């Protein structure tokens, strides 16, 4: 990835292990709100290529759908989106706006299709607007965020900082919300029963802690997500005639 500018920047504050793990009761409730399906950012309207894959018969049954979502979680979200989210939170904590802008741009550039790009921008704008309406962050940060334009991880990270949600709980909540949305998409687009959906969530939940640990520990230059099948599914979704989701 691109190296930092030679211009001398403010030295970031070291984030302690306690800050990454400690979660107060207020912080827990804030995290539940951020990760809730009722958060008005439109997450429910996206399947991230899953609907197109189902239309093509790639995951043909509940077991295959679970495998598709699991691979998406471990090979893409945990290796790219979640590590970027962690760095965005650190940048907000350090008030390093150059780093916020750089990681926001990095994530936007990693969106392989027009739909995936539009999704993160729509959700990012919606989350930023919600934070402003709730008075959840100071005006200067919100103004900076709105001018990026914001991706969803950038807005989510600012919400976590403003509501005192440490790094690891934030990552766990974000990954859980992503997994839950994917399973809900499968329930809407395929003949998968509620019990099967809950079984998928239990399997994904067992893998999320390791994904969160990887997101925090991975080196900057090792952040990447290469999933050509997922990118193709997302591109095919753009021309899918009968569909439920926006992506």
- 29 assigned to some structural domain: no
Kindly tell me if the per-residue pLDDT of 49 is higher than 80: yes
CATH code where residue 107 lies: 1.10.4190.10
What pLDDT sits at residue 144? 96
Please report whether residue 7 resides in a domain. no
Q: Which domain holds residue 129?
A: 47-237
Asked, for residue 154, whether it belongs to a domain, the answer is yes
Chain segment 140-183, per-residue pLDDT in tens: 999 999 999 999 999 999 999 999 999 999 999 999 999 999 99
**82's tokens:** 């979640």
Residue with the bigger pLDDT between 82 and 226: it is 82
Confidence of residue 230 (pLDDT cuts 50, 70, 90): confident
Tokens of 53: 């894959």
Note if the pTM is more than 0.95: no
pLDDT at residue 13 greater than cutoff 70:
no
* Residue 20: predicted pLDDT: 54
Specify if 17 maps to a domain: no
pLDDT exceeds cutoff 80 at 209: yes
* 15 inside domain: no
Residue 11: which region, alpha, beta or left (left: phi > 0; alpha: psi -120 to 50)?
Answer: beta
Average pLDDT on 121-128 reads 97
Tokens of 13: 């504050």
Residue 139 tokens read as: 């005006």
**Number of domains the chain contains:** 1
- Give DSSP secondary structure letters for 106-146: HHHHT--SHHHHHHHHHHHHHHHHHHHHHT-S-HHHHHHHH
Q: Which residue has the tokens 């709980």?
A: 169
In a domain, 192, yes or no: yes
For 126, the token pair is 């919606």
Residue 41 lies in a domain: no
Q: Is residue 51 part of a domain?
A: yes
Distance between CA 22 and CA 83 in Å, rounded?
Answer: 19
Residue 246 pLDDT greater than 60, yes or no: yes
Question: What pLDDT does residue 83 have?
Answer: 98
The whole-angstrom separation of Cα 12 and Cα 33 is: 28
| Residue 2 in this model has a pLDDT that exceeds 50 | no
Question: Distance between CA 146 and CA 78 in Å, rounded?
Answer: 26
Per-residue model confidence (pLDDT) at position 158:
97
Q: What pLDDT, on a 0 to 100 scale, did the predictor assign at position 14?
A: 47
């Amino acid at each position: 990835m691109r190296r930092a500018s030679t211009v001398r920047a403010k030295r970031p504050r070291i984030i302690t292990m306690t800050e990454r793990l400690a979660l107060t009761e207020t912080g827990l409730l804030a995290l539940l709100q951020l990760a809730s399906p009722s958060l008005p950012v439109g997450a429910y309207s996206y399947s991230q290529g899953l609907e197109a894959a189902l239309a093509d018969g790639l995951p043909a049954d509940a077991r295959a759908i679970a495998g598709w979502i699991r691979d998406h979680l471990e090979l893409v979200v945990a290796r790219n989106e979640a590590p970027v989210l962690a760095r965005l939170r650190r940048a907000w904590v350090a008030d390093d706006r150059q780093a916020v802008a750089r990681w926001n741009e990095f994530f936007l550039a990693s969106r392989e299709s027009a739909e995936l790009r539009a999704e993160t921008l729509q959700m990012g704008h919606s989350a930023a607007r919600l934070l402003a309406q709730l008075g959840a962050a100071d005006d200067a940060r919100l103004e900076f965020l709105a001018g990026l334009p914001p991706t969803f991880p950038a807005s989510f990270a600012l919400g976590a900082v403003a509501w005192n949600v440490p790094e690891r709980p934030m990552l766990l909540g974000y990954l859980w919300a992503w997994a839950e949305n994917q399973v809900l998409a499968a329930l809407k687009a395929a003949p998968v029963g509620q019990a099967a959906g809950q079984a998928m969530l239990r399997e994904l939940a067992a893998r999320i802690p390791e994904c969160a640990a990887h997101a925090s520990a991975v080196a900057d230059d090792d952040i990447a997500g290469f999933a050509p099948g997922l990118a193709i599914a997302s591109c095919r979704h753009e021309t899918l005639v009968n569909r439920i989701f926006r992506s």
